[in-house]
Copies of this chain bind each other. A is one copy, B any other.
Amino acid sequence: MNALGKHLLMELKDCNKEVLNDIGFLRGILLAAANEAGATVLGESFHHFNPHGVSGVVIIAESHLLIHTWPEYGYAAVDIFTCGDSVQPEKAAQMLREKLGAKNHSMVEIQRGILDTQ
């Protein structure tokens, strides 16, 4: 069964609350995770919320990496959506889990774009 895209949805809990509120740190690790996966970065958009929380996305040639954080709960939602066989999204997932200090996590993989023609 071929799909156009592989979408990893990660629930990262009991993270380091300080880093979840550090937009510079989060931007750095998303870009590093894209690189770790072998992806090509095309663009980005990051925002810090008052009083806390960050949303950020890195658009890659192979789709995207994305994070929303709730520092007050030690929680981050992370999505890694890739297409093609040239990237290794699991490497990005592992790096992000480690860098955010997630003591608990779950991950779901969803196949996107399963087409009748394939």
Contact = CB atoms under 8 A, between A and B. Distances in A.
Interface of A: 4-5, 7, 9, 11, 13, 42-47, 49, 55-57, 59, 61, 63-64, 66, 68, 70, 73, 75, 77, 79, 81, 83, 108, 110, 112-115, 117
13 contacts: A5-B68, A7-B9, A7-B77, A11-B114, A42-B47, A42-B55, A43-B45, A57-B57, A57-B59, A66-B66, A68-B112, A75-B113, A77-B113
Contacts of A66: 57, 64, 66
Chain A, interface SS category: strand
Contact of A64 (B9, B55, B117): B55
Given A4-B70, A11-B112, A77-B113, A45 B61 contact: no
